[in-house]
Homo-oligomer: A and B are copies of this chain.
Amino acid sequence: MSAPHAVPGCELCERDGGILIARNAQLRIIRAEDADHPAFYRVIWNAHVAEWTDLPPNDRSLIMQTVAKVETVLRQALQPTKVNLASLGNVVPHLHWHVIARFDWDARWPAPVWAPKSREVLRPAERLALGLEALDARVAQVL
């Protein structure tokens, strides 16, 4: 696609937006450093578009196929209670998909991660079936 120019002041144009896991010409995968939800990745379109349907159909499919691959890695590695997927972008209107492994023991379960916390969970990353470094390495292989 013809890449629009970076938008000054857009934090996903100017920075990776988290721990960079993998990148190709169209998109990148980062891990959000979320203290309560450790297995929280984002698939970010590199060029600045706001809405998923701003992409042409082939590119919509491409980003969703990457979302599916990340979801599959999380399911296989962690057996989460549920996977949560979302494209919101109200605060940062640069297309990014949240891919979050949720657990029935996590700090906001069963509410979405954007709801108020319902309990304190100490060192949630240590409860995962796979350490974050190994998980990142598996996620990186999807690109």
Chain A contact patch, size range: 20 to 34
Chain B residue nearest to A89 (CB atoms) is: B82
Residues 81-99 of A contacting B (Cβ, < 8 Å): 81-91, 93
Does any Cβ of B come within 8 Å of A50's Cβ?
Answer: yes
Would you call A82 and B50 a contact (CB within 8 A)?
Answer: yes
Number of copies: 2
Across the interface, A86 reaches (CB within 8 A) one of B64, B81, B85, B90, namely B85
Name 12 interchain pairs, CB-CB below 8 A, sorted by A. A50-B82, A53-B71, A53-B83, A57-B68, A61-B64, A64-B64, A81-B90, A82-B88, A82-B90, A86-B86, A90-B112, A114-B114
Q: A91-B110, A112-B114, A114-B115 are in contact. List 17 more A-B contacts (CB 8 A).
A: A50-B82, A51-B71, A51-B82, A52-B68, A52-B83, A53-B75, A53-B83, A64-B64, A82-B88, A82-B89, A82-B93, A84-B87, A84-B89, A86-B88, A111-B114, A115-B115, A115-B116
